[in-house]
C-alpha cells in the first residue's frame, strides 16, 4: 500500500505536510475548505482552481527509489498487488505491470464529461490545460474531469475486485508514504489475516500501527 509520500522525492508535494503539503498552499484559490478543490459539487461550479493545480500535476516526473522497490518486489515474484492512493502513475513508469497496480483513487491518464460521461484521453485534457483552457465536452459542452476519485465519489471498480483474495493471501503487508486518513483505503491495513506481519515505512507513525510482535515501524 502506498501514498503520496513515496512521490515527494520526484517533486510532487504530498497533501498534509505542514508548509510544503498541497493543503498548506491553497490559500490563493480562496476555497470554502481545502477539500473543495477535490469535491465534485465545487468542481461543477468552479473548475478553475482544480485545473490551475492540475497543470502542475500533469508535468513529467520520474519514479523514485520507492517505485523501483515495488518493481523489484515484482521481479522477485514477491508482489501480490500494489494498492496506491497516488494518481501520478509513477509505478507504471518504473516498469510495474499494470495488472499488479490498483490505483485506488483513479488516474490522470483519462477523463470524462461530468454530464454525459463521454470519455476523453489524457491528450485532450493536456491540450486544453497547456492553453490555460478548461476542458469541455465536445458533445454537450459541460466540463471534462480527469478519472480521479473526488471526495464523495465511488472508487474505481478495480479497487474492490481483488481486495478479498489479495489480503487473504498476504504474507507481509508493506505500507509506505501514507497517513492513512482517507477511507476506505485506510481500512485495508486491517484486512490481512491475524498473524500477518505489517511494516510501516513513513515520516510519521499512524494509529493503525503499534510497533511490536506483528507490526514493524520505520520512520524517516
Q: Is the pLDDT of residue 45 over 90?
A: yes
For residue 107, the model assigns a pLDDT of 87
pTM: 0.83
> Which is more confidently placed, 124 or 24?
124
Confidence of residue 61 (pLDDT cuts 50, 70, 90): confident
> Which is more confidently placed, 20 or 4?
4
For residue 58, the model assigns a pLDDT of 77
For residue 25, the model assigns a pLDDT of 61
pLDDT averaged over the chain? Answer: 89
CB atoms within 10 A of CB 171: 11
Cell numbers found for residue 62: 520520474
Residues annotated as catalytic (active site), given as ranges: 105
For residue 157, the model assigns a pLDDT of 87
Closest CA to 137 of 162, 153, 116, 158: 116
Helix (H), strand (E), coil (C) string for the chain:
CECHHHHHHHCCCCCCCCCCCHHHHCHHHCCCCHHHHHEHHHHHHCCHHHHHHHHHHCCCCCCCHHHHHHHHHHHCCCCCCEEECCCCCHHHHCCCCHHHEEECCEEEEEEEECCCCCEEEHHHHHHHHCCCCCCECCCCCCEEEEEECCECCCCCHHHHHCHHHHHHHCCCEEEECCCCCCCCHHHHHHCCCCCCCEEEEECCCCCCCCCCCCEEEEEC
Q: Is the pLDDT of residue 187 over 80?
A: yes
For residue 219, the model assigns a pLDDT of 86
For residue 182, the model assigns a pLDDT of 86
For residue 19, the model assigns a pLDDT of 64
Please give the average per-residue pLDDT across 77-95, as a whole number.
94
Least confident of 109-123, 163-177, 191-205, 206-220: 206-220
Q: Tens of pLDDT along 110-159? A: 999 999 999 999 899 999 988 989 999 999 999 999 999 998 788 888 88
Residue with cell 515484482: 74
For residue 127, the model assigns a pLDDT of 92
For residue 20, the model assigns a pLDDT of 60
Please give the average per-residue pLDDT across 25-39, as a whole number.
79
Please give the average per-residue pLDDT across 81-105, as a whole number.
94
Could you give the percent of the chain with pLDDT greater than 70?
A: 92
Amino acid at each position: 500500500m502506498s501514498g503520496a509520500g513515496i512521490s515527494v522525492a520526484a517533486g510532487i508535494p504530498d497533501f498534509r505536510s505542514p508548509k510544503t503539503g498541497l493543503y498548506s498552499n491553497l490559500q490563493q484559490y480562496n476555497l470554502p475548505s481545502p477539500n473543495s478543490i477535490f469535491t465534485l459539487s465545487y468542481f461543477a461550479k468552479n473548475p478553475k482552481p482544480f485545473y490551475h493545480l492540475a497543470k502542475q500535476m500533469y508535468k513529467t516526473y520520474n519514479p523514485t527509489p520507492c517505485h523501483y522497490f515495488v518493481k523489484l518486489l515484482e521481479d522477485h515474484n514477491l508482489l501480490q498487488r500494489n494498492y496506491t492512493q497516488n494518481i501520478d502513475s509513477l509505478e507504471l513508469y518504473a516498469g510495474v505491470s499494470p495488472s499488479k497496480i490498483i490505483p485506488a483513487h483513479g488516474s490522470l491518464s483519462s477523463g470524462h464529461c461530468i454530464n454525459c460521461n463521454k470519455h476523453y484521453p489524457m491528450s485532450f485534457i493536456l491540450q486544453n490545460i497547456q492553453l490555460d483552457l478548461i476542458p469541455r465536452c465536445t458533445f454537450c459542452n459541460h466540463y471534462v474531469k480527469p478519472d480521479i476519485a473526488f471526495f464523495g465519489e465511488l472508487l474505481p471498480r478495480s479497487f474492490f475486485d481483488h481486495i478479498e483474495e489479495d489480503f487473504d493471501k498476504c504474507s507481509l503487508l508493506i505500507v509506505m508514504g501514507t497517513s492513512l486518513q482517507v477511507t476506505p483505503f485506510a481500512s485495508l491495513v486491517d484486512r490481512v489475516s491475524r498473524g500477518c506481519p505489517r511494516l510501516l515505512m513513513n515520516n510519521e507513525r499512524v494509529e493503525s500501527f503499534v510497533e511490536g510482535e506483528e507490526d514493524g515501524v520505520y520512520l524517516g
